[in-house]
Amino acid sequence: MAAFTWSALVNDKATQLTGAITSGSPTDGGSLTVGSTSGFPATGYLDIDANDSTKYERVQYSAIANGTTFTLAAASSRGADGTTARAHQAGATVELNWGAAQANEI
């Protein structure tokens, strides 16, 4: 993962999953398809179902493949930052939030 840059910070970025995912798929290096990646930084962390403590998961992405696909990091992308990889339904909220991983990169 590239070093954190302040220019990567944006406010109120959210989208939704376009299809359900399981706790085991996609895997590291796989892809996460959403409604839109417009305005998201080129790399970073995403929170899925952040408003539900029973479903919350943080994932790390290493690239945006097109306007609707995040490429997950090659290692430890699911359940990042101390969370657990979980199943999520289509329509689940995917948002850009600040977390310990970003703070540790500074």
As a whole number of Å, the CA-based R_g of the chain is 12
**pLDDT tens per residue, the chain (106 residues)?**
455 444 455 667 899 999 999 999 999 999 999 999 998 988 889 999 999 999 999 999 999 999 999 999 988 899 998 999 999 999 999 998 776 665 566 6
The Cα–Cα gap between 74 and 36 comes to 22
